[in-house]
Amino acid sequence: MKAPAALEALTAALKRLPGVGAKSAQRFAYYLLQHDREGAALLSRALAEAVERIRHCARCNTFTEHEICDTCSSPRRDAAVLCVVETPSDQLMVEQTLTFNGLYFVLMGRLSPLDGIGPKEIHFDRLLARATDGTVREVILATNFTQEGEATAHYIGELLRARGLKVTRLARGVPVGSELEYVDPGTIAQALRDRRAVQD
C-alpha cells in the first residue's frame, strides 16, 4: 500500500518547514485534509502571494511589499539614528517599546562562520553604505545578546567606528520586573559594572 501521490507530495513539502520532521509533516497533512481544507486552501494562496509580493526594502533590508518599506519612507522618523537588528521580529520588538523613532537596518541573520554566514550573508556592505551616507550620526547595535549576536555587534562596531561613526550598544543589565535571586551571575556582574548614579 502506498499513500496517494498528492498526499506524499504535501507531506514532503511540509517537511521543508524548519524543525518539522516526517511525523509532524504527516500530522499536519492529515489534519488539514481531514479537519481544515479551507485552511489548507488559504495557506496555499497565502504562500503564493507572499512569495510573489514580499521582497526586501532597498534601504533597511526588512520584508516589505514595496521598493522602500513604510518605516524608511516615513517623514516622521529620525534618519540620524540607525538601529541594527538581526531579524524583522527583533525590529518589531524594538518598535513595540514606542521609544525609538530612528530608522533600522535588518541583517536578516548573524555572523556564524561555522554555518557559512559571513559579512556578505548579513549584507554588511549595504549596511556600510547606508551608515556612511552622510545622514546617519549614531548606529545602535541591537543584535541579540547571544555569542553570535555579540560577535556580530563587535565586528560591525569595529568597522563602523573606524569610519568615524558613533556606535552604541543596547544596555546590558537586570531585566525590568525580575528578582535578583533568579537572575544569572553574569547579568548581575554586568549590571554592577554598568551601574548608574541615582539621580534626584
Q: In whole angstroms, how far apart are CA 38 and each of 41, 52, 131?
A: 5, 21, 46
- Name which position in 21, 50, 67, 118 contacts a copy of itself (CB under 8 A): 50
Min dist CB 152 to a copy of itself, Å, is 16
Grid coordinates representing 90? 527583533
| Contact string (CB under 8 A) for a copy of itself, positions 79-108, x = contact | --------xxx-xx--x------------x
Residue whose CB is less far from a copy of itself, 48 or 188: 48
Min dist CB 66 to a copy of itself, Å, is 8
Residue tagged 526594502 (cell numbers): 57
Is position 166 an interface residue for a copy of itself (rule: CB under 8 A)? no
Residues in the interface with a copy of itself (CB under 8 A) total: 56
Min dist CB 130 to a copy of itself, Å, is 18
Is position 191 an interface residue for a copy of itself (rule: CB under 8 A)? no
DSSP H/E element including 105: strand 102-106
Is position 70 an interface residue for a copy of itself (rule: CB under 8 A)? yes
Is position 127 an interface residue for a copy of itself (rule: CB under 8 A)? no
Give me the count of residues in the chain.
200
Is position 68 an interface residue for a copy of itself (rule: CB under 8 A)? no
Q: Which residues bind a copy of itself (CB under 8 A)?
A: 1-7, 9-10, 12-14, 16-18, 26-34, 36-37, 39-54, 63-65, 69-71, 87-89, 91-92, 95, 108-109
